[in-house]
Structure 1
Amino acid sequence: MAQRGVQLDQETFSCSICLDLLKDPVTIPCGHSYCMNCIKAHLDIEDGKKLHSCPQCRQTFTSRPVLLKNTMLAVLVEQLKKTGLQASPADHCYAGAGDVACDVCTGRRLKAFKSCLVCLASYCEKHLQPHYDSAPLKKHKLVEPSGKLQEKICSRHNEVMKIFCRTDQQCICYLCLLDEHKGHDTVSAAAERTKRQRELEGSQLDIQQRIQDREEDLKLLHQEVEALNLSADKTVEDSEQIFTELIRLMENRSSDVKQQVRSRQRTEVSRVRELQEKLEQEITELKRNEAELKLLSHTEDLKQFLLLYPSLSPSSPRSSRLGVYLDHRAGILSFYSVSDTMTLLHRVQTTFTQPLYAGLRLNSYGARAEFSKLK
């Protein structure tokens, strides 16, 4: 009876999260107590949900609960530690997070020792004993504790799936073998597991051999890299000596080369600039002709269009001599390019109301003549 009382005390002062005696016990608003670190970790996980709860009673809190140190519990736990009763007896190995719990235990359940594929339940050592003592229960199939027993049962016939259908690549029960899987290529699930285990081991050996081969190849590549580095260092050293001698020889000729290059530079730049100036002048003249042609294209007067068209033709020959003809009475002013022949460059037809005076202006390069406007 005394031992029973001690066990009850240990359960009373155990943290329901880590299942061990309370360490730095704290209490949350609902009244339950936990280890300081355990409840902090639990609340940290729930911070993202913006809603906190008690792991034991599931009471929820809109804000993170304030942790209050429970001095009385801390004193009692220390007294239990001093009695040497901190460690739980072997038959009190309770199920924690991730463990398969006994389906028969009530209250705080123990870890399952075996799972029964016939009962579809998991048992601790104590509640498993009938399967060892009772003749009918001895025939049941016991396996390692599993939390997925239902997955081993055929959902259609509620029988254990002990057969593997190679045709459909799935586990079936013996009733499925007589029904929709009749005539299929089937073997026992254990035999298929053994076969695939051998294949798996063969694959592992193959991979291990490939790893060894690759490691050997990698070792050879490392050696090749070292050889390449040594060869490159030797080549660089030799080339530095060669280029040092070449530089010494080239420096003796550098002054002459620079002078030749600069001289050629000045000549070519001068030539290019002359071409640039000529092209700029030609572009300016072509743009002027383009503007005059555009203006002529909008002329509705047929006679004036026909009179002006020849003078605006871009194919007019270039000449250094210019001829001007004025028919004051007819109101026609004509410009000609004078060479071996006279070619009409431009013709203006208008009405002269005042005396005309010729004024000629040359541009800065002397390549084009313009008539000045009289004030």
Structure 2
Amino acid sequence: MANFQKCTIVSPSNETEVQWVLFQVIKCKAAIVWEAGKPFSLEEVEVSPPKEHEIRVKIIATGVCRTDDHATSPSFKEGLFPVILGHEGAGIVESIGPGVTRFKPGDKVIPLYLPQCGQCKFCLSPKTNLCERISKAKTPISDQDLMLDGTSRFMCKGKQIYHFMGTSTFSEYTVVVESSLAKIDPAAPLDKVCLTGCGFSTGYGAAINTAKVEPGSTCAVFGLGGVGLSAIMGCKAAGASRIFGIDINKSKFALAKELGATDCLSPEDFKNPIQEVIAEMTDGGVDFAIECIGNIKVMKAALCCTTVGWGTCVIVGVAVGEEGFVVSPLDLIMGRKINATFFGGWKGVDSVPNLVLDYMAGKFSLDALVSYTLPFDKINEAFDLMRQGKSNRTVLVY
């Protein structure tokens, strides 16, 4: 299968001209979830050429995130199958479709599940990092199951395969919309900076952008996986004087302290609820709490561990299949605030390249978050490690 598309190229005379260029379907390996609740199946897929304002990317490395696990759950009602998941990747531009101006083959890139078109009222506003393309989505991880023209670029065994979050990085090659891609430094190590595509950016930004942690403040971070550890790094970078890391898995504590936590607590070590323990240790509660698990009871505990008057709670985790939790109006009247973050508040096209540069300059550690680096065909093993609490982040490499 092949087709010809119009493409702007530079001729030998150094003048640009439009020519018909041959674009071919690529056959490569990908991990497909055929049905909800089923493991990943390694398959050969066909990846179509990019259409207008689309880019085909060769994925080099991709992180394993709990959101991908949520998407396989029968409780996630918006999920469409069969699907190629993955949204924390890094790769190299293989080809570009008509109209693409900001990228060229060979560019190193990070696919973005939160697009930045740069033209809508959301992208033009400093008040949000949302984009009109997903502003009406039912959930943050739905409504990017197909390309903008309503079709898929993936086929397997004669069947259309759905995209996921506009990225689908669990494929050796993927196709994304131009506004869902960030160009990064050509020297960046892709097996590390792929984490800026989700986990690190979300946690770090929750502290820096959403909570707006202040110098000398006290913070509590619930959940010490990759996102929570990144939130701890954000709290430290913002100058917090005391940072509590909370998790029932005590094996997480050593790294949490290495990255900035001053105190690590397990709720199972106390008779009283953890929010009461934290309040007692901080003269009434912390200034900022960040919930990075996606558990309704933990969200409530995070809010209640903040001080009255000005305490701020930021929700990061996604509670799939649950309705929500009750917030007492009295909590709000007494000055507590609750907020939530999507991709850490970053406008991805603008911010991710700078985050990559900050990592390369040694301003924070991504390497410390990577528990395992495995070949892509070990994807089911990588998810098992995450579910068992043995991995902060596993990176799969092709």
TM range (shorter): under 0.3
| Structure with a larger share of its residues in helix | 1
Instruction: Kindly indicate which of the two structures has a greater share of residues assigned to strand.
Output: 2
Greater relative contact order (Cα < 8 A, sep 6+): 2
When Rg is computed on C-alpha atoms for both structures, the one with the higher figure is 1
